[in-house]
Structures are given as C-alpha cells and as structure tokens.
Amino acid sequence: MKEKEIKNFVKERYSKIATKEEFSCSCCGPMDTIFQQAKLMGYSEEEIRSIPEEALLGLGCGNPTALAELKAAETVLDLGSGGGIDVFLAAGKVGVNGKVIGVDMTPEMVDNAIKNAKEAGYGNVEFKLGEIENLPIKNDSIDVIISNCVINLAPDKLVAYKEAFRVLKPKGRILISDLVTEGNIPEDIKKSFEVWSECIAGAMEKQEYLETIKNAGFSDVEIVKHQYFTEPYMDERLVGKIISIQVKATK
C-alpha cells in the first residue's frame, strides 16, 4: 500500500464525515448516539454541552484535554483537529491569554471547525489546513500538543512525532490518545484501505509505538491510561488486540 493512496482514501472518507455524507466508525448517526460515544471516550456531559454541537462527529478514542493538565496562557496544538471538539475544550482551559491551534488535512473539516468557532464566538482558536507529517507551525512555538486517534492514520508515525518534537518548545509536552495493537493482526486487515480509515490497519504494536515516540527525541514516555476493546471491533479476530491508550511525553 502506497502512502499517497492511503492518505487520499483517508482524506476522502473524512471529508464525507465532515459533510455528513457518511458517519464515523464509532456511531450510527443520531446525535444522542454521538453523545453516548463521547461519554464512552471520557468526555463528561458538562464538557459535551459546553462546545458547539456541530463539533461532535463521533470520532476519537479518548479525551486528551482531561489529562494534559493545560494551564492558563499556554499555546496548544491539536493534531488532526476534525470538527474542533478538543480545540474548543482546550480553549476554555488556556483562557483568553492562551491560544489553541487545530491542524487537519481535510479541507471540509477545517471549514467546519472555522465555522463552529465563529458561530460560538471563540477568540483564542485558529484552524489550519495541513498534514501532521509537515506541520504549518514554527519551530519551538508550542507548549502542549494533543491529538485524538489521528497519528495511527499516518503512514509514517516517526515523521509525525519528529514534527511534533520540532514545533514544541523545550520542556514542552504531548498528551496523545491513540489506538495500538497487542498480538498479531491479520494481513488482510492491515492491507485494507477501509480499515486504515477506521484507525485500525495503521495501528502499531504498543511497544513499537512507544519506541517510535522515544526515537523522535521525546523523554519520559508513559502510558497514563489504557482500555482494551473486549467486543468485536469490525472483525472478531481483533477482540482483545486493540487498545486505546493515552500517552504523555516531554521534549
């Protein structure tokens, strides 16, 4: 599978999710179902009600803002910001003197997020079109990076983490929610474009994933929360092999 083909397929699918032509893998569509999915991923009802409803798309595998210990006046970057759910939650934590930037490679997602921010009156957020392997962000300019089930979509995760390292300030930190694997994943699943877009085919083995973060230059790499999928996730062969983790590390 070629990197460009993977990206094009993923981008096309997420553009359809952004325009409501298609629903995410995590929910079947109705807004009450999306609320329930968000709660399962670790968002409180108060958090869900505090952000624009259109930012909820049923995506993600955790709540990175809950564990990132964001502080007032910090500058935060969200990798793969989608409709903006984590950007908006982070904006409330860093306050008017802080700033939150969302980067996403899907134009429709960025357009939606900008619209959501404008309609809700957020003055401390910004959304940029770009790829996480080539961030449109200056060196050493970010205090905290968050991401929610996106880096597994990148064909080259080491490059993505090196870019994260580049834009972070010295002593800056990351809190990443992502999916990893434990045990062997069938080859037919790994080679499926559809399963790539569902955040599974591109998921790395847990220890290899942690080593990739270290190889990008990060220290103090630690899993702070994890959850096994014990029910069939697309394919019964994946039961017990897919893990949602939240990882923190420091530059």
Tokens representing residue 107 in the block: 């134009």
CB-count burial class (<10 Å; 0-12, 13-18, 19+) for 211: middle
Q: What percent of the chain has pLDDT over 70?
A: 77
The H-assigned helical ranges of the chain are 3-18, 31-40, 45-49, 64-67, 85-94, 107-120, 157-167, 187-190, 193-197, 206-215
| pLDDT class of 239 with cuts at 50, 70, 90 | low
Task: Convert the pLDDT of each residue in 152-195 to its tens digit.
Answer: 888 899 999 999 999 999 999 999 999 898 877 766 665 554 54
For residue 33, pLDDT over 90 is answered with no
Q: Which tokens go with 59?
A: 């995506």
Q: Which of 80, 225, 224 is nearest to 154 (CA)?
A: 80
The C-alpha atoms of residue 7 and residue 171 are separated, in whole angstroms, by 31
> 134 vs 107, 167, 182, CA distance in Å?
16, 11, 29
Residue ranges of the domains in the chain?
3-250
* pLDDT for residue 84 is more than 50: yes
Cα distance between residue 53 and residue 112, in whole Å: 12
Q: Token pair 């990076």 is at which residue? A: 145
142-152 pLDDT tens trace: 999 999 989 98
Name the CATH topology of 3-250. Answer: Rossmann fold (3.40.50)
101-133 per-position pLDDT tens digit: 999 999 999 999 999 999 999 999 999 999 999
What number is the average pLDDT over the span 200-217? 89
Indicate the SS3 state at residue 113: helix
Task: Decide: 206 and 143 in contact? Cβ < 8 Å.
Answer: no
> What single-letter DSSP state applies at residue 151?
G
206-215 helix and 157-167 helix, angle to the nearest 10 degrees: 40
As a whole number of Å, the end-to-end CA separation of the chain is: 32
